[in-house]
Amino acid sequence: MSTYHSPFDRLRAKFDETELTCRQCGYHDESGGWRVSSSGDRVQYQFVCPSCSAVETREMRLS
């Protein structure tokens, strides 16, 4: 059983459960994860495809 300590951890866990598949080339990254950066009340998740270098981004707001 995992214990999350912050909203960041919860969001990160949610994204970590999301399948990482590149929309450009279809590469499926099984061991990678989202890179997280935050500014103000927004959190940005970024995944750079190791195969074709396409960048996937998701942005969420902390409320």
**Parallel, antiparallel, or unpaired: how do β-strands 55-61 and 35-39 relate?**
unpaired
Residue 29 CA from chain centroid, whole number: 12
CA dihedral 34, 37, 43, 46 (to 10 degrees): -30
Site string for Zn ion, 13-52 (x = CB under 5 A): ---------x-xx-x---------------------x-xx
| Residue number with CB closer to Zn ion (54 or 62) | 54
Question: Rule CB under 5 A: is residue 54 a binding residue for Zn ion?
Answer: yes
d(CA 27, CA 5): 32
CB of 42 to Zn ion, least distance (A): 25
| Contact footprint for Zn ion (CB under 5 A) | 22, 24-25, 27, 49, 51-52, 54
